[in-house]
Amino acid sequence: MNISDIEEILKAHFAGSIPTDEAAAKLRNLSYEDIGYARVDHGRAARQGFPEVIFGQGKTPEQVCGIFEKLLERTPNLLITRTTSEVFGQIRNIFTDAEWHESAKMIRVIRDRTDLGIGEISVCTAGTSDIPVAEEAALTAEAMGNRVQRMWDAGVAGIHRILGERERLQNSRVVIVAAGMEGALPSVVGGLVAVPVIALPTSIGYGASFHGLAALLGMLNSCASNVTVVNIDNGFGAGFAASLINRK
């Protein structure tokens, strides 16, 4: 709902083409579609630069499919996160070109591949086990019109592995760093580059990792000043925020 929308409604009303109560209602009832169990937010693309994404967790397959159908009509690219291969079976019946990404547990539709970014987004992981979360970030960033560089398994205990990628990192417009356990890699990367770093804690670890809490706290306390943080295992959010930073 931006100011020009409001002005348009006001002008139409002034011109007498819509009566007062209808104009008032329009101003209140902005562009979402109520399908009972969900209010599908068709204005989000305008507001945020990308259509609504379906968060699969806690929804029935019927709900996911219902929302998917509504969104598919209006948006070329679309993501369903935290879902299952069972749901993918049903989605495919609706749209056969949907992709299934096993490690990221994500369904993806890409119909528009325009490059919208200033530069490249790098996505690194500290370990092999962090790849699924990082992959969710990379797939999201691609769907939002970015070129993505992947660098897996470059954790700090073998520091030369990430040092060896310094040049590629420094040439990125933004870097996403996924790490579990102690979550130290974003601080090291943050110190190497002059661009924003998005730290992406993963739940990889055991014992006192407390399902990613150790990594999360480490990243929040990073001594590198260019680091901001997203939720544990929130690859989607990291990819989304990186895309906006990289947006022309």
Please report, for residues 52, 55, 90, 141, the alpha-carbon distance to residue 60 in angstroms, rounded to integers and kept in the order given: 18, 11, 12, 26
Q: Quickly list DSSP for 76-108.
A: S-EEEES--HHHHHHHHHH-TT-EEETTTTEEE
Query: Least Å distance between CB 177 and its own copies?
Result: 12
Please report, for residues 82, 95, 103, 147, 209, the alpha-carbon distance to residue 65 in angstroms, rounded to integers and kept in the order given: 14, 10, 21, 29, 36
Phi and psi dihedrals of 121, rounded to 5? Answer: -105, 125
Q: Which is nearer to its own copies, 97 or 167 (CB)?
A: 167
Closest CA to 175 of 215, 117, 106, 227: 227
Q: Which is nearer to its own copies, 26 or 147 (CB)?
A: 26
Query: Least Å distance between CB 124 and its own copies?
Result: 11
- How far apart, in whole angstroms, are the C-alpha atoms of residue 141 and residue 210? 28
Query: Least Å distance between CB 148 and its own copies?
Result: 15
- How far apart, in whole angstroms, are the C-alpha atoms of residue 52 and residue 183? 30
Query: Least Å distance between CB 109 and its own copies?
Result: 17
Q: Which is nearer to its own copies, 16 or 93 (CB)?
A: 16
Q: Which is nearer to its own copies, 109 or 219 (CB)?
A: 219
Q: What is the distance of C-alpha 56 from the center of its chain?
A: 14
Q: Which is nearer to its own copies, 89 or 164 (CB)?
A: 164
Q: Which is nearer to its own copies, 97 or 207 (CB)?
A: 207
Q: How many residues does the chain have?
A: 248
Query: Least Å distance between CB 171 and its own copies?
Result: 10
Strands 99-101 and 106-109: antiparallel
Query: Least Å distance between CB 154 and its own copies?
Result: 6
